[in-house]
Amino acid sequence: MSIWQYADLITSIDPANRITLGEGNTPLVKSRRIGPEAGLSNLYFKLEGTNPTGSFKDRFAAAGISHMLQTGASEIIATSSGNTGAALAAYAAAAGIKCRIAIAETAPLGKLTQMLAYGADIFKVKGFGLDPDVDKRTFQALKKLANQPGRALQVSAYVFSPEGMCGVETIGFELAEQLPEVEHVFCQSGSGGMSVAAARGFAKLVEQGRLARSPAVHCVQSAGNDTIATPLRAGADRARNVTCTSKISGLQVASVVDGHLTIEACRPTGGTGHTVTDENVWHTQKRLAREEGLFTEPAGAVALTGALKAIANGELSKDAPIVCILSGIGFKDTAAIDRMNADVECPTLDLAALEKEAEV
């Protein structure tokens, strides 16, 4: 099973050119503690960290690299803050093609080593992911590099790589099967691509009569990288550039990218924007691990942080079926793990002390 079970709904690729590592079909689990404690009877988590490289970006890489094979391209020029790069590097290795990636300056070491392990050629760009002007110039340079024969630009955003992003729409297809009654889907957003993909996925099913209605798709961002959420909530038609101050890896996207498309896709569903603090995200990340047994990176806790804020503000019915996307596994961000575990330690016990304790 993979995203290609929905081949009729995504980019058209010959079966011989479809690359898969088993991405998609991720579990949907019901909250056992966090939901009930907030008065929510139907809170669910979509576990995207169970994808082959540990994030939802595998859906993008599978579709994007398959499209490259379809068109005869043999070298990836890409940009990433971590998870996209890891996914592209893995699928490029599987496809036997080259992969060169410009990395956001603040990308966690764990994600960089994962890319290197797959054989990718990576380099950091100073200020990339934090300064919208640097972002713009970096994208311009990468476009020029990718314009050469045999190369293709792979950026996990519709404005750059729509063929790959259609693979992310399979999140919506799966949720429609796993929980047809879902009313709200909360997505973390850096550039906005996941929110757009989920909304478009549901819209395709509605258009084809496979789904009665789309759930409200909500865009949740760190307040330190609020390019989309506040404009969406305020009724604006356009996203905005910002100077990023957020420390949440993967969501440090200071420029608009898919922001305009996010507003366009989410508003008709009834979804809105939500901003959350980095501190609240880290708190939610720890709660997910210690109360639900779900180990996600900080970015993966953003959607739930937004949903809990919306509930606390009385914006959602407590009986409504709600899904929060947990976008990536927690193992890649060692600094975040250290932060989570700052209040605990692993002591070394004398064996005699252990034996004495066992006798009590």
Query: Tokens in use for 163?
Result: 């063929």
3-state SS, residue 124: strand
Q: What's the average model confidence in pLDDT over 110-130?
A: 88
Which tens digits make up the pLDDT trace of 70-116? 999 999 999 887 899 999 999 999 999 999 999 887 777 888 899 99
End-to-end CA distance of the chain: 52
Q: What is the distance, to the nearest Å, from the Cα of residue 116 to the centroid of all Cα atoms in its chain?
A: 21
Tell the residue number behind the tokens 């906005």, with chain if given: 192
Between 8-22, 62-76, 100-114, 141-155, the lowest mean confidence (pLDDT) is in 100-114
Identical fold for domains 3-55+164-340 and 57-160, yes or no, is yes
Q: Which sequence spans correspond to the domains of the chain?
A: 3-55+164-340, 57-160
**What is the pLDDT, as a whole number, of residue 132?**
78
User: What are the φ and ψ backbone dihedral angles of 30, each rounded to 5 degrees?
Assistant: -85, 140
From residue 295, how far is each of 47, 165, 240, 248 by CA, in Å? 10, 25, 32, 16
Tell the residue number behind the tokens 């909250």, with chain if given: 31
Question: What is the pTM assigned to this prediction?
Answer: 0.94
Say which CATH architecture domain 57-160 belongs to: 3-Layer(aba) Sandwich (3.40)
Which tens digits make up the pLDDT trace of 216-259? 999 999 999 999 999 999 999 999 999 889 999 888 888 899 99
List the one residue out of 89, 91, 92 whose CA is nearest residue 102.
Answer: 89
* Helix 302-312, helix 278-287: angle, nearest 10: 100
Q: What's the average model confidence in pLDDT over 54-82?
A: 94
Under CATH, which number does the domain 3-55+164-340 receive?
3.40.50.1100
Which tens digits make up the pLDDT trace of 153-172? 999 999 999 999 999 999 99
Q: Return all residues near 137 (Cβ < 8 A) that are at least 6 apart.
A: none
% of the chain at pLDDT higher than 70: 100
**What is the pLDDT, as a whole number, of residue 238?**
97
How far apart CA 286 and CA 294 sit, in angstroms, is: 9
Taking the CB of residue 133, how many other CB atoms lie within 10 A of it? 12
**What is the pLDDT, as a whole number, of residue 334?**
83
Given a contact cutoff of 8 angstroms between Cβ atoms, the answer to whether 257 and 159 are in contact is yes
